Structure 1
Amino acid sequence: MLDRLSFYVVAPEILLLVMACVVALVDLGVKSRLRGLTYGLTLATLALVAWLSAEFAMTGQTLYGFNKMVVSDPLGNWLKVFATIAVMVTLVYGRPYAAERDMLRGGELFLLSMFSLLGIFVMVSASNFLVIYLGLELLTLSSYALVALRRDHAQATEAAMKYFVLGAMASGFLLYGISMLYGATGSLDINEVFKAIGSGRIKHEVLVFGLVFVVAGLAFKLGAVPFHMWIPDVYQGAPTAVTLMLGAAPELAAFGIAIRLLVEGMMPLAIDWQQMLVVLAVGSLLVGNLAAIAQTNLKRMLAYSTIAQMGFVILGLAAGFVNGNTSNAQYAYSASMFYIVTYVLTTLATFGIILLLAREGFESEEISDLAGLNQRSPLYAGVMAVCMFSLAGIPPLVGFYAKLAVLQALVASGQAFYIGLAIFAVVMSLIGAFYYLRVVKVMYFDSPITATTVSAPAHVRAVLSLNGALVLVLGILPGGLMALCADAVVRTLAT
């Protein structure tokens, strides 16, 4: 029997679903090219959902509902807050771009964004394998449709087909792994699976077989090597507004389900899955950074940059359990959470610049399109430079502190192997600095191709300026966000 608590636990999801339906009905009567009413109602809904999730997060409580199939805890609620803000900022940046490319004939962009966010919410709230899978499918199906939203564009349609085929394969991996774990443990409940694995009565070989498929599915969602094939093609082929939708909020969801499945569900198998994560992290850092150097397309370069950045996140996840001791877990997992949140913040500003430049009538996808940007718009060039320096890990920007936090977690393990991984990560970051600094060089030292000035609505400029300022301010004063991440991880692991 369902009680009031169950519906209270999923209040943000219920609000988001109901308002998505309301927005769909309201949009039927909207005739304006910019879908002003739909846009305003969507942002108001997302702001309300973010506030409600933040209220839940600040209570610090862990509540279960629907027979322990869903959970409301600080980690999940803060990830919901950050994901909602990311979608809001994406819509602010992407609306002018979408309008110019006839992508706002209906309210699909706003509706699909809300449904993909609902999928993220379901994923990070799940305490059951099937609920995770349901959330994942809601997110991915919405994402496939978003990539193909520009129906008259061959490149976008091709990207959507590639994403669909590879995404279906990854979902199959994850579902097959879940079925193996269900067969071995007899339960789909994450806490029950944890207890069953910890009992030691289940054949280790069966568990590891299922674990391999689960990690493969997670690696695809995180974009880790060798499951990264979709990222460069989809980032380049999708409309830029959709690329940002795929590259920001869903990364938070991937981190959330990695914590749910691996840490909360399969910590007794940490020795096995950490070895797999180390291989994924090393491959991602190596392939991501080396491949990005060869790119001339800005979106494709940022796709390989994403792969390399995810290598750092995975390193943090791989350093929590050392020699049977979980004392390093809170530092490692909170460092990973801090890294993914600040990476999403930086990605929003980076693609925001690309979106605003693309409004001149061309896509502004090549690195050479940024030539002389400082002479045309010092504000945009400054924000882009701050983002590039942050992604490269140059102090005092937030990317430096994020990398430092992960490296400290690796070194704190006290193991020579993890210290070696930290050194490898530093070397890869030095290589990666080349392609980030190349963008800065093009903006400040190359002659502009066009004399056209860059303009944008006042509220978009304000959001972009705040976005860029946060990248700097959180690098100088990272303590508050780091403490929030640490507190969320500690409270969640304690339950």
Structure 2
Amino acid sequence: MTFSAHDLFLILPELFVIAAACAVLALDPVIPASKKDGLAWLSLGTLAVCLGLTASQMGQTTTAFSGIVLIDAYGGFWKLLLYFVTGLTVLLSYSYLKEERLHFGEYYGFVLLALAGMMVMVSAADLLTIYLGTELMSLSLYVMAGLKRTEPRSLEASAKYFVLGAFSSGILLYGISLLYGATGSTRLPAVAAAIGGRGIDDPLLLFATILLAVGFAFKLAVVPFHMWTPDVYQGAPTSVTAFMAVASKAASFGAFVRVFVEGLGGLKANWSAIFLLLCLATLVLGNVVALVQTNIKRMLAYSSIAHAGYALIGVVAAGRTGSDGAHGVASVLLYIALYAFMTFGAFAIVAMLRKGGLEGDEIEDFTGLSKRHPLAALLMLVFMVSLAGLPPTAGFIGKFYVFMAAVQAGMTWLAVVALIFAAVSAYYYLRLVMVMYMREPEPLSITAPRLVMSPALSIVLACAVAGVVMLGLYPNPIVNFAAQAVLPLK
């Protein structure tokens, strides 16, 4: 493989992120604790630069490094979403670390390293490159999940995530090796060409497809490969949980869709059936088990699993024979982007309650919140209504488009099933609303200190609620953006 200065220019966003991560890790041991806030602002500055660079590349489709990296609108869509989520994570973490008196400046370095891995995942046109990006993301998240080194629950979350993550990575790599043996290449265009000439009845190709599906299913946290999600979400620091629930899921869906639609499109009759089964199992288990949760982070974890099932509807629709795959893929991009606002906002409220000394981990901690802290209750109400998919919020728009993708693919029954479980989900989302607005607070909690939103946390919540409301009322810009981003995958 050869490369030129132009190739390096094309991956400048990735290079900037990695350079900033290295700078943070190098500066952390040598600067005093009182100055470590500057590492957060260095991270935000890096994200702003990368945002401009990626926006300038949105109009082009080109390859770098002999075709293993693809610069296109599809990858650009995911990168812009990841910059936004990472920026919110840095702001939320800035407030969280100060409150917990955790002077871990290297935390921001791991956030940037995870982002770098995610950027590689969504832009790679080679299976091994996607795998390397996945591992960089995963290794960083393992460390971040165990950030609170004095809490056994945090260390347990990190250990569980590491063990199961390593297991899934092995399965993914085995699937890549089998696919290489069957097609003679790991580059997606070459894999697609080889599959197109061999048909869909090759058992080796089918087995490789199943292993790749399982490997990605772990990263996406879909049933039955979801078992790590509730424990890790509950044990990890809340800011890390928000980052995992949104950014890692977005990057995993970005790589997953590119691999199966662009590389394994010739096998769509096979993988569409596989993902249909996973989609149905995920919708059922994610929503039903969430009904009985008493811990808010575990409830949101099962909610996250269920939302992965809704996004899979778009993937299934894209794989249906005779359907326009672009509609299905566009619905996935749109759904994950809208999901990011409401989920991050919900976790930010949980973090704010912990900051106020109200714990916030148990649903009972929200009792009478509307009387104690009306603004926090109102914001949580907006996020819960959006997660339930009620109009006029972004959650309704996301569900509407994935359901329409299923209908256009001739799978109206799947849209009906998903709609039924969306109604089931409304119960556990609105149960939290009932606890906040229809129960009297404990006498001691009324006199508790009022919640104070730091400037950083205020920005996070303002961005989240603005996205949920504005994109619910006027979704055309992001709908059109998602539609344009899938053009290279047709």
Give the TM-score normalised by the residue count of structure 1.
0.95
Q: Encode CA deviations 1:206-260: one digit per residue, 9 max, x unaligned.
A: 1000000000011111110000000001001111111112111111111111122
Separation in 1 of the partners of 2:31 and 2:51? 26
Q: 1:89 to 1:201 in 2, by over 3 A?
A: closer
Structure 1 equivalent of residue 53 of structure 2: 52
Q: Encode CA deviations 1:382-435: one digit per residue, 9 max, x unaligned.
A: 11111100010100101011101011111112x3xx111111000001111000
Q: Does 1:444 align with 2:437?
A: yes
Over aligned residues, Cα RMSD in angstroms? 1.4
1:204-243 → structure 2 map (5 Å cutoff): 204-243=202-241
Structure 2 equivalent of residue 466 of structure 1: 463
Structure 1 equivalent of residue 38 of structure 2: 37
Q: Does 1:386 align with 2:379?
A: no
Once the two structures are TM-superposed, the CA of residue 6 in structure 1 deviates from its matched residue by 1.2
Q: Does 1:80 align with 2:84?
A: no
Structure 1 residue identity aligned to 2:52: W
Separation in 1 of the partners of 2:225 and 2:219? 8
Separation in 1 of the partners of 2:167 and 2:41? 37
1:150 pairs with one of 148, 151, 165: 148
Once the two structures are TM-superposed, the CA of residue 201 in structure 1 deviates from its matched residue by 6.6
1:421 pairs with one of 403, 414, 418: 414
Once the two structures are TM-superposed, the CA of residue 48 in structure 1 deviates from its matched residue by 1.4
Q: Contact 1:223 / 1:307 at 8 angstroms: preserved in 2?
A: yes
Structure 1 residue identity aligned to 2:404: Q
Once the two structures are TM-superposed, the CA of residue 95 in structure 1 deviates from its matched residue by 2.1
Structure 2 residue identity aligned to 1:196: A
Q: Which runs of 5+ in 2 are unaligned?
A: none
Q: Does 1:331 align with 2:327?
A: yes
Q: Give the 3-state SS of the residue equivalent to 1:319 in structure 2.
A: helix
Identical counterparts, % of pairs: 38
Q: Does 1:484 align with 2:481?
A: yes
Once the two structures are TM-superposed, the CA of residue 34 in structure 1 deviates from its matched residue by 7.3
1:127-138 → structure 2 map (5 Å cutoff): 127-138=125-136
**Count of residues in Structure 1 that have an aligned counterpart in Structure 2:** 485
Structure 1 residue identity aligned to 2:330: S
1:393-404 → structure 2 map (5 Å cutoff): 393-404=389-400
Q: 1:202 to 1:231 in 2, by over 3 A?
A: closer
Separation in 2 of the partners of 1:102 and 1:230? 28
Q: Contact 1:70 / 1:127 at 8 angstroms: preserved in 2?
A: yes
Give the TM-score normalised by the residue count of structure 2.
0.96
Q: Contact 1:312 / 1:425 at 8 angstroms: preserved in 2?
A: yes
Structure 2 residue identity aligned to 1:222: L
Moved more, 257-266 or 464-473: 464-473
Q: Encode CA deviations 1:290-345: one digit per residue, 9 max, x unaligned.
A: 0000000000000000011110101110101333x24x211111011100111011
Q: Does 1:454 align with 2:455?
A: no
Structure 2 residue identity aligned to 1:267: G
Once the two structures are TM-superposed, the CA of residue 69 in structure 1 deviates from its matched residue by 0.7
Separation in 2 of the partners of 1:431 and 1:137? 35
Q: 1:319 to 1:34 in 2, by over 3 A?
A: farther
Q: Give the 3-state SS of the residue equivalent to 1:318 in structure 2.
A: helix
Q: Contact 2:318 / 2:325 at 8 angstroms: preserved in 1?
A: yes
Q: Contact 1:184 / 1:207 at 8 angstroms: preserved in 2?
A: yes
Q: Give the 3-state SS of the residue equivalent to 1:248 in structure 2.
A: helix
Q: Contact 1:126 / 1:132 at 8 angstroms: preserved in 2?
A: yes
Structure 1 equivalent of residue 369 of structure 2: 373
Once the two structures are TM-superposed, the CA of residue 140 in structure 1 deviates from its matched residue by 0.4
Q: Contact 2:95 / 2:457 at 8 angstroms: preserved in 1?
A: no
Q: Does 1:28 align with 2:57?
A: no
Q: Give the 3-state SS of the residue equivalent to 1:71 in structure 2.
A: strand
Structure 1 equivalent of residue 113 of structure 2: 115
Structure 2 equivalent of residue 64 of structure 1: 63
Structure 1 equivalent of residue 472 of structure 2: 475
Q: Give the 3-state SS of the residue equivalent to 1:64 in structure 2.
A: strand
1:305-344 → structure 2 map (5 Å cutoff): 305-323=303-321, 325-326=322-323, 328-344=324-340
Structure 1 residue identity aligned to 2:250: L
Q: Contact 1:30 / 1:38 at 8 angstroms: preserved in 2?
A: no
Q: Encode CA deviations 1:368-393: one digit per residue, 9 max, x unaligned.
A: 11112222222221111111000101
Once the two structures are TM-superposed, the CA of residue 46 in structure 1 deviates from its matched residue by 1.4
Separation in 2 of the partners of 1:194 and 1:468? 41
Once the two structures are TM-superposed, the CA of residue 362 in structure 1 deviates from its matched residue by 5.0
Separation in 2 of the partners of 1:55 and 1:88? 19
Q: Give the 3-state SS of the residue equivalent to 2:385 in structure 1.
A: helix
Q: Contact 1:103 / 1:149 at 8 angstroms: preserved in 2?
A: no
Q: Which runs of 5+ in 1 are unaligned?
A: none
Separation in 2 of the partners of 1:402 and 1:395? 11
Separation in 2 of the partners of 1:360 and 1:34? 24
